[in-house]
Amino acid sequence: MTSVTDTSALLIDRIHARHGDAVRIGTGCDLADDVEFVIDPDATITLGDRVSIRRGTTLQANTGGHIIIDDDTAIGENVVLSAMTHIRIGRGVGISNMVDIHDHNHRPRTHDTLTTDQPITPWASGFDAAPITIEPGAIISNKATITAGVTIGQNALIGANAVVTTSIPPNSTALGVPAQVKDRHPGPLDPRHPRRQLHIGWFGTSLMEHYEAHHPRLSTQADLPAVGEQIEVTEWRHRGYVHALTTRWQSSYPWITITTDNRGEGGATSRDVLVNVNTAVHGGGRWDLAFLGVGINDIWRHHQGRMSEAVGIDEYDTNIRTALALLSEATRRIVVIGEPPIGWDPAIDVAAANRDLLEYNQRARRAADDHHAQYIDLWDDITYTATCFGWSPTTPTAPTRGEPSIWSDGVHLSEYGDDLLHQIVARHLSDHRIHDGLLTLDRFDRATAARRYHVAR
């Protein structure tokens, strides 16, 4: 009688004879004799050690596609894996029967995806594609479907018949159509598996920069300086609403490493910010999410009479559009943050300056729309809160000493203003599911996806 090991060895020999170096199979693998390997030119399939694949399963690596299955993974019956970019399955993953994993799908049939001389065929409009990753220890239950761009986190459990269209965090259970997280079950994560990364860039003025003088003892609870003790400033650090948002996002997505590239500059006009964006992009900067907020200094300098530094509205429009065009080449998502009103400044006509600032904000909104960027309008929320604190937009004056205010000095934000910006930006990103969207890879036409997601074997 022929053993399972003998049958698998004979099958592996046949696979190698047919596909040569396009397939690599590790030691101790157990493959049913009807497992189908479909490998197009410039495509590969790699199996680690002790991989088990049951009957009726198809592994299809289309031209330029790669399937990588790591050690100790078990794949059930009648499963289909089809890759045009790449599908990666981590160590110890369990995939049950009749699961479908495609890293691509048909594009809609439109005038942009078809030419008039093409015959009517199922593939005439081409395909959109993005890699799929199933991290170590995940379990995919019967008849689940995993779609392009999705990452299934470590130890995640995907329920039967689920359709996974967005990435699922580790140590969670996702059910339904579309699949949503219904439960969390803390478990050990494989330290050898690389953590996901999100890189966030900030380009703007002192509202983003928000430097704070600091010494480590000032925030070390076990070694706080005594009242009256002199402490030397040893560093400047970014704080304000940008710091608060980063802290919030990191605690909300603990399985992701979130890094912040804060290029805010005190006193910057749109000219200065454009230089900063240009330097960052051409210096190789790349961001998953970038924020752009500028305009208040362009106007403030004009009303201060510093005309050589002031930036007129047409130049401002050109500057912000150029910055958005540059960022579009280096960033997956862009958010433009409108400027808040000025609170007070005895040296200028604040009401007139704020009227100008509203016009600049409208230009920023239109530029954001034209570059497919999100726009966050701060004006109404800032004005509402400020008036509740006693401020008047028609006769803007400094608050009575000790009274709360949005502004610390009439232009820069107080702790109340920073917290309000934190709330507004966090709410907008949550309502539009910006971060969740970034965790699922963007889909592109097949040729673009091949360039964007190319990996060496």
- Domain CATH code at residue 241: 3.40.50.1110
- Cα(64)–Cα(127) distance, integer angstroms: 13
Residue 22 three-state SS: helix
Domain assignment present for 176: yes
Residues 6+ apart with CB under 8 A from 411: 296, 300, 342, 343, 345
CA 214 to each of CA 119, 217, 234, 242, 442: distance values in angstroms, whole numbers, following the listed order: 68, 9, 6, 17, 40
Query: Are 143 and 269 within one domain?
Result: no
Indicate the residue among 141, 163, 194 that finishes a domain: 194
pLDDT per residue over 238-255, tens digit each?
A: 789 999 999 999 999 999
Percent of the chain with pLDDT over 90: 76
Query: Are 167 and 232 within one domain?
Result: no
Query: Are 224 and 190 within one domain?
Result: no
What 89-92 contacts at long range (C-beta under 8 Å, 24+ apart), as own/partner pairs, is 89/134, 90/133, 90/134, 90/135, 90/136, 90/137, 90/138, 90/154, 90/190, 90/193, 91/48, 91/136, 91/137, 91/190, 92/136, 92/137
The first and second tokens of residue 93, run together, are 């993953």
**Average pLDDT over the chain, rounded to whole?**
92
- Binning the chain into helix, strand and coil, the percentages to the nearest 5 are 30, 25, 45
Indicate the residue among 194, 215, 240 that finishes a domain: 194
The pLDDT of residue 457 is above 60: no
pLDDT per residue over 50-62, tens digit each?
A: 999 999 999 999 9
The pLDDT of residue 335 is above 90: yes
Query: Are 219 and 310 within one domain?
Result: yes
Task: Count other Cβ atoms within 10 Å, centred on residue 303.
Answer: 18
Domain assignment present for 210: yes
- Cα(405)–Cα(407) distance, integer angstroms: 5
**361 or 118: whose pLDDT is higher?**
361
Query: Are 360 and 337 within one domain?
Result: yes
- Cα(329)–Cα(348) distance, integer angstroms: 39
Query: Are 136 and 241 within one domain?
Result: no
Query: Are 234 and 187 within one domain?
Result: no
Query: Are 144 and 285 within one domain?
Result: no
Domain assignment present for 421: no
Residue 260's pLDDT is 93
Q: Which value, to the nearest 10 degrees, does the dihedral of the CA atoms of residues 323, 326, 328, 331 take?
A: -100
Query: Are 238 and 175 within one domain?
Result: no
The pLDDT of residue 4 is above 70: no
Q: What is the DSSP string of 188-209?
A: ---TTSPPEEEEEEEEESHHHH
pLDDT per residue over 156-206, tens digit each?
A: 999 999 999 999 999 999 999 999 999 999 989 988 888 999 999 999 999
pTM score: 0.90
Domain that holds residue 288: 196-413
Indicate the residue among 194, 227, 243 that finishes a domain: 194
The pLDDT of residue 121 is above 90: no
Q: What is the mean pLDDT of residues 321-340?
A: 97
Residue 1's pLDDT is 34
Task: Lowest mean pLDDT of 63-67, 227-231, 246-250, 335-339, name the range.
Answer: 227-231
Domain assignment present for 445: no
Domain assignment present for 160: yes
Which range is most confident: 228-237, 259-268, 398-407?
A: 259-268
Domain assignment present for 82: yes
Domain assignment present for 225: yes
Task: Lowest mean pLDDT of 38-42, 122-126, 333-337, 449-453, name the range.
Answer: 122-126
Say if CB 167 and CB 186 are below 8 A apart. Answer: no
Say if CB 213 and CB 197 are below 8 A apart. Answer: no
Query: Are 281 and 222 within one domain?
Result: yes
pLDDT per residue over 276-315, tens digit each?
A: 999 999 999 999 999 999 999 999 999 999 999 999 999 9
- Cα(82)–Cα(146) distance, integer angstroms: 11
Query: Are 158 and 227 within one domain?
Result: no
Structurally, how many domains does the chain consist of? 2
Number of continuous H segments (helices) and E segments (strands) in the chain: 11, 30
Domain assignment present for 423: no
Task: Count other Cβ atoms within 10 Å, centred on residue 402.
Answer: 5
Query: Are 94 and 235 within one domain?
Result: no
CATH number at residue 39: 2.160.10.10
Q: What is the mean pLDDT of residues 88-107?
A: 96
